A and B are shown apart, each in its own frame.
Chain A
């Protein structure tokens, strides 16, 4: 059976992981290549590397890093952050990324998704959506969740999949960083309107939260960062927990 996926996410700035990392037996806590390999060894099903570097010059540093990651990792990985053009994607895929994620640039210019689909196929295009409930409806946010747009989350997700997005990475800004669990309702709603995998993100605080988003949110994968980085949850323990609750995972 197809398994649910556990996806650690690493934020990268100037070639180093940004969020504090509290790993035992890791020589260079800030080295994304070593950290990625460590997660792969522990049973991560996939990794996401997000470039949060602001300047254009540092983008080439990121491509070099992607090359190193590709040479080291034996599991699939997605890269994202600041992708604006077909050329950006070409560089990252050629560097060895399996998939790329687009966010703000696609909201601004939805045709980017169609162009990427035509060029590289939908299997490598992840649409990252930052969503927040405004008291009335779910709205798409851009620029790291700082700026609200006019777009309704459900409409946007549907349009993006029609244009060729092969996967949705859905981050609930209401839940991100607060560790009270994933956004179950909107995750489920998104899985009901599109026929591509949905990665839930934002809010993971304990193992039960992962169970809830798989079982009740119908998510295909769940992404988290700090709880893995700080060793609050170890991936083998998490997978064992899920397995015992009859969630299909790769052990």
Chain B
């Protein structure tokens, strides 16, 4: 199986490769459209800022390509936010896979939301074998609100989407590659999803 991790100007790309490595799974890091299209599964990680990340994706024409992928696709953290319609971070137009607008947390508690928090209302095969209220690791200041695409919910200041799914597109706001054994299991579930190209 070919796993591709999308290379772009956001950190954290290697952490995902390492996490897959711990599962004994080889992966490539690339921004080459041909290689991405050939992959069986695609992971779109990211730590960074929405606007500069979108500029890079537009420059590489990946912003138009990504929404057309048919194989199982997993966005992580900033990846999730870039898959939404729009982000309040620097008023950035994003790729619109999920018809949802990303908002900034109101500063009633500490922002960014950093640390381990639990996920509930779990749906989808991505969370197969994962118990309700399992803890995963978050680092973010912006969030996707609850919507019909929400497949996991977390409460911080307000209930928000910890994960989204639409067709073959999956995304987590938390970092499965940094979430201990629970996160490893979620990555493994993603790798085991059935899919087409």
Contacts and interface: CB of A to CB of B under 8 A. Distances in A.
Contact of B47 (A2, A40, A123): A123
B179 A123 contact: no
A195 interface: yes
Contact of A3 (B135, B139, B177): B135
A196 B11 CA distance: 21
B139 A123 contact: yes
B180 interface: yes
Interface residues of A, number: 29
Interface string B96-123: 0000000000010011111111100000
Interface in A60-96: 70-72, 74-76, 93-94, 96
Interface residues of B, number: 36
Contacts, number: 80
A93 B11 CA distance: 8
A75 B22 CA distance: 13
Interface string A34-70: 0000001000010000000000000000000000001
B172 to A, nearest CB: 15
A196 B110 contact: yes
B118 A71 contact: no
Interface of B: 11-12, 14-15, 18-19, 21-22, 47-49, 107, 110-118, 135, 137, 139-141, 155-156, 175, 177-181, 183-184
11 contacts: A2-B115, A40-B180, A70-B14, A71-B18, A72-B22, A93-B11, A98-B139, A98-B178, A123-B112, A123-B141, A220-B115
